Amino acid sequence: MIRKWFIALCCLLPLTGFAQDKVLHIYNWSEYLNPDLITAFEEQYDCRVKQDYFDSNEALYAKLKAGAGGYDLIFPSSYMVSIMAEQGMLQELNHDLIPNLKHIDRSFLKLTEDRDMKYSVQYMVGSTGIGYIDGRVEMDEPSWAIFANEEYAGRMTLLNDMREVIGAALKYLGYSLNTTDEAQLDEAAEVAIAWKKNIAKYESEQYKNGLVSLEFLVSQGYSGDVMQGMEENEDIAYVIPKEGTSLYSDDMAIPVGAENAELAHAFINFLHEPENAASNTDFVWYLCPNTASYEFLSEEVKEDPAVFLDPEVVAKSEVIRDLGEENAKYVKVWDRIKAAQ
Amino acid sequence: MADRTSERKQEWLISAPSMVWLTVLFLAPTLLVFAISFRPSTPFGGVGEGWTLQTIRELANPNYPAIIWRTVWLSLATTVICLGLAVPCAYFMARARARWKPVLLMLVIIPFWTNFLIRIFAWKVLLHPEGLVKKLLLAVGLVEPRDILMYNENAVLLVLVYSYLSFAILPIYAAAEKFDFSLLEAAMDLGATRLRAFLQVFLPGISRGLITAALVVFIPALGSYVIPDLMGGPSGEMIGNKIAQRVFVDRNLPHASALAAVLTLAVVVPMVAVIFLQRQKKPARAKEAGG
Amino acid sequence: MKRSRIPLYTTLVCLLFFYLPIIILIVNSFNKSRFGSVWGGFSLRWYQKLMENRDVWFALKNTAIIAVSATIVSMVLGTLAAFALHRYRSRLQNAHYTLVYTPLVVPDILMGMSLLLLFVQVKVQLSLFTIFLAHVTFCISYVAMVVLARLQDFDFSVVEAARDLGASTRQVVTGVLLPLLAPGILAGGLLAFTLSIDDFVITFFVAGPGSTTLPIQIYSMIKHGSPPVINALSTILLAVTFVMVWLSQRLTEEKTTS
């Protein structure tokens, strides 16, 4: 009896194996793609789309470096695109397979470094700002100084991202957020340490839920995430501090070793179909820089100054650039901030 | 003589599968961690060529003592609190009526088998700044409206204790089950107070269970990563978080390896010593180990 | 003579401590309101949302594949290891014992990180398969320890008797040893199965494309998802756990009565 059972189980083993049909593996930020589009794509191309999520560019990079080959499409921010391209981790794109590139909004190209779209196509652009609960928090003049306000101690969060936190402190002091001047970085460290005393934690992911459930009252956050929160709790508001902030463009790229590069091209093209781009923007509340899509956007999104960035804001803000070897300076400052009591 | 060699062959044959598997997938990777600690890191997250002591020197980072100290004291405090609660529980369970024993045992085992992320999540809901516990404590005047229950070391400690308490109860209960309780009565008949009988007769009688319990709480606590990540505040990092940060954020595998190597040594050296002593003293092996 | 009440009270406090968060979680999974601190009426809508979440189903499938295959392989390897450790006394077995025992006490994060380094160095692509390798590695030791404990209670005169009656080694193993030890091996397997289903940290390090398991999914839902949906998922998992514990208790009872 036991032997039969055992043999039966052993026979199951190969069945549990690793058979595959046509699957597009994508590695993306969470809540960053309208699921209806995935379903539509699956039907149109008769394939399966499997999505995994990362929470920071560094985590994406570390995973790919660590041998997580097999992703067909990834969504790094543009500074990470430069690093990966330099490291030979990305395939050159075949523009013939992506006719919708003609719709790309040229005015946002300055947010990326890969302006010829050799390795990447812009997916979404957004800003880092402050999400807060209207009615519980006074925000007359939006400023990073809010994190020094003890009134909200223990109910605020900063992003768990060294460049964003140190960058906010640098901006607050009036410096560039890509500085490599150690005196400026030291000053920024002091500011960030003072902020740290008032925050509940460094948090890049849960702040959206935290704002919705009133766990947090003030959060440094990404524009679209905060606005997704508004759909569940209408007291949430989003502002960009007067000192300026960081802007970013998340791009689509195909890693070397992709198993379905052709399907990945098709997916890029599909996401830049004007109607699809618009429905995606409506869903994620970031802006897909696709000129032809703007007319399909919902009124609400069209009028939102946080989706369509104000030129004045853009003028004061910067894009985070990778600093190569100088990056170590930021790691050091970040260690110091994290260890400070 | 032929019998001896065939016996020897058989021993090798049935030992080989597990030994080979664990050598390739456990021993080799652990040694690899030590080796990579002596490699330079490249700015793009790779492991460089050649050998260096640079990473080891970087361990003298002035920020580390605080993190190590926090890791050690949180783990120690967790162990002490868990044992303090587990001993009376195990005592009660071992002396309960036979009918009740399986029920009590099951009640302790269920949390042990529940997904630990879910248990952490349950506490996040409970300790929410506008949640149930806060409202209760406010009502009885134990906290101020502005006090925060989560995102500090106490919350981490609370959830650590919650996560490992059943790990502590089970081995102590297993030892207490075998304890002859008439010894306690005998001690008291001879004039010992209840406390003294408990301390000098019961505790030594279950010492093996206590040691196992302390180890199965203390060691995983040292390597905690998820609990401080979810419950800790901006200053709540433990060594585990630092290792994860070096791997997934700083792209510095050698540095992560060096930290991991230190933690491995801190855990494995005393353990191997204990195993060796136990095995030489007593051929019958630690039964509780599987628990 | 009056016994101290302290153990009783401590036990009650501990049980309350264990179950209070769990009970609130279960209650909230049926709470119509999104916010845990107010009761908005009974509702099953979070369960419905959960059923519609295809990521969860996908993760569940991955978890099942890994748990079943890792359990089977580790049962075989672990049982063999236990036999060897029980039967022989030699320097080889001392080393073997250390090798089997140490993974039990090494923190998860170390095992995850060292396996990741190994896979990077030998350039193995991260995938479901690497998760399977990792899970077998930590399950072997648990199975071995559980079976070893059973072997120590085992009455080997039965084996002698079978031998005397002329049974071959193979007949002894398949006809006598395995059936009698089956409850122990199954208990070990069950432990391996739950550990595999539950593991987050090690899996997190060695997971590759399309290999999200249930704990990783839960972790990502805790961070991004809607809390009531996690309540619903947790309640279902608790029910499954309850059944599993009950089953394993039955197995243990069978062993003591046989």
For CA atoms A20, A23, A27, A32, the dihedral sign is negative
CA–CA gap between residue C141 and residue C196 (Å, rounded): 13
Is there a domain that residue B18 lies in? no
> Which pLDDT score, from 0 to 100, does residue B278 have?
66
The DSSP result for A242-268, as a single string, is: TT--EEEEEEEE-BTT-S-HHHHHHHH
CA–CA gap between residue B112 and residue C169 (Å, rounded): 39
Answer whether residue C258 shows pLDDT above 50.
no
Answer whether residue C238 shows pLDDT above 80.
yes
pLDDT 10s digits, A269-324: 999 999 999 999 999 999 999 999 999 999 988 888 888 888 888 889 999 888 87
Is there a domain that residue B26 lies in? no
Smallest Cα distance from C128 to chain B, Å: 16
CB contact under 8 A, B264 and C106: yes
CA A134 to chain centre: 25
Instruction: Return residue ranges of chain A for CATH 3.40.190.10.
Output: 22-125+248-302, 129-246+323-339
Nearest to C125 among A27, A70, A206 (CB): A70
Instruction: Identify which has the larger pLDDT, C111 or B6.
Output: C111
Q: Which two tokens stand for residue A238?
A: 């989003």
The angle, 0 to 180 degrees and rounded to 10, between the axes of the packed helices C108-121 and B253-281 is: 120
Nearest to C24 among B11, B132, B247 (CB): B132
CA–CA gap between residue C225 and residue C34 (Å, rounded): 12
Q: Quote helix, strand, coil % in chain A, to nearest 5.
A: 45, 20, 35
List of chains touching B (3+ CB pairs within 8 A):
A, C
Q: Which residues of C touch A1 (CB under 8 A)?
A: 179
CA–CA gap between residue C30 and residue C232 (Å, rounded): 8
> Which pLDDT score, from 0 to 100, does residue B284 have?
44
Contact call for residues A298 and A272 (beta carbons, < 8 A):
no
- Domain around B212: 37-290
> Which pLDDT score, from 0 to 100, does residue B279 have?
62
For CA atoms A264, A267, A273, A276, the dihedral sign is negative
Is there a domain that residue B149 lies in? yes
pLDDT 10s digits, C33-80: 776 667 888 989 899 989 888 888 889 999 999 999 999 999 999 999
Cα dist. A120→A72, A90, A269 in Å? 13, 9, 12
Q: Radius of gyration of chain C from Cα atoms?
A: 22
Of how many residues is chain B composed? 291
User: Is A13 in the C-facing interface, judged by CB distances under 8 Å?
Assistant: yes
CA–CA gap between residue B238 and residue B71 (Å, rounded): 5
CA A51 to chain centre: 15
Q: Which two tokens stand for residue B191?
A: 């004039």
CB contact under 8 A, C209 and A51: no
Is there a domain that residue B29 lies in? no
CB contact under 8 A, C101 and B247: no
* CATH 3.30.465.10 at A22-125+248-302, yes or no: no
CA atoms within 13 A on the CB side of B215: 24
CB contact under 8 A, C126 and A63: yes
Instruction: Give residue A246's pLDDT band: very low, low, confident or very high (50, 70, 90).
Output: very high
> Which pLDDT score, from 0 to 100, does residue A294 have?
94
Is there a domain that residue B3 lies in? no
CA–CA gap between residue C85 and residue C106 (Å, rounded): 21
User: Is A9 in the C-facing interface, judged by CB distances under 8 Å?
Assistant: yes
CB contact under 8 A, C224 and A205: yes
> Which pLDDT score, from 0 to 100, does residue A107 have?
87
> Which pLDDT score, from 0 to 100, does residue B286 have?
42
Q: Which two tokens stand for residue B34?
A: 């030590």
Q: Which residues of A touch C209 (CB under 8 A)?
A: 25, 27, 50, 52, 68-71
Q: Which of A267, A249, A255, A257 is nearest to A321 (CA)?
A: A249
pLDDT 10s digits, A87-104: 899 999 999 999 999 999
Query: If phi over 0 gives left and psi between -120 and 50 gives alpha, with beta otherwise, what is residue A92?
Result: beta
Is there a domain that residue B151 lies in? yes
Looking up residue B204, the CATH number of its domain turns out to be 1.10.3720.10
Answer whether residue A3 shows pLDDT above 70.
no
Q: Which of A12, A20, A30, A263 to mutate to test the interface with C (most CBs of C within 10 A)?
A: A30
Q: Which residues of C touch A52 (CB under 8 A)?
A: 207, 209-212
In C, residues 220-249, which contact B (CB 8 Å cutoff)? 222, 227, 230-231, 234, 237-238, 241-242, 244-246, 249
Residues of chain B with pLDDT under 50: 283-291
CATH superfamily membership of C44-257: MetI-like (1.10.3720.10)
Contact call for residues A30 and A55 (beta carbons, < 8 A):
yes
Nearest to A341 among B62, B150, B235 (CB): B235
Q: C213-249 burial, b if ≥16 CB within 10 A, otherwise e? A: bbbbbbbbbbbbbbbbbbbbbbbebbeebeebbeebe
Q: Which two tokens stand for residue B51?
A: 């050998």
Q: Radius of gyration of chain A from Cα atoms?
A: 22
> Which pLDDT score, from 0 to 100, does residue A10 have?
47
CA–CA gap between residue A157 and residue A137 (Å, rounded): 14
Give every CB contact of residue A182 below 8 A, 6+ residues apart in sequence: A329
Instruction: Tell me which DSSP letter residue B147 carries.
Output: -
Nearest to A67 among C126, C182, C224 (CB): C126
Domain count, chain B: 1
Count of beta carbons in the 10 Å neighbourhood of residue A118: 12
User: Is A106 in the C-facing interface, judged by CB distances under 8 Å?
Assistant: no
pLDDT 10s digits, A204-221: 888 998 999 888 999 999
pLDDT 10s digits, A121-131: 999 999 999 99
Q: Which residues of B touch C63 (CB under 8 A)?
A: none
> Which pLDDT score, from 0 to 100, does residue A182 have?
94
Instruction: Give residue A1's pLDDT band: very low, low, confident or very high (50, 70, 90).
Output: very low
> Which pLDDT score, from 0 to 100, does residue A317 have?
92
Query: If phi over 0 gives left and psi between -120 and 50 gives alpha, with beta otherwise, what is residue A129?
Result: beta
CB contact under 8 A, C223 and A205: yes
Find the residue in B nearest to A56 (Cα). Answer: B249
CA–CA gap between residue B199 and residue A192 (Å, rounded): 51
Query: If phi over 0 gives left and psi between -120 and 50 gives alpha, with beta otherwise, what is residue B45?
Result: left
Nearest to C194 among B15, B27, B113 (CB): B113
Helix (H, G, I), strand (E, B) or coil at B45: coil
Contact call for residues A257 and A70 (beta carbons, < 8 A):
yes
CB contact under 8 A, B125 and C6: no
Contact call for residues B28 and B248 (beta carbons, < 8 A):
no
CB contact under 8 A, B22 and C140: yes
CA–CA gap between residue A183 and residue A162 (Å, rounded): 17
The angle, 0 to 180 degrees and rounded to 10, between the axes of the packed helices B253-281 and C91-105 is: 130
> Which segments of chain A are extended strands (E)?
23-29, 48-54, 73-74, 120-133, 156-158, 199-202, 218-222, 236-239, 246-253, 318-319
Any idea which architecture A129-246+323-339 has in CATH?
Answer: 3-Layer(aba) Sandwich (3.40)
CB contact under 8 A, C37 and B222: no
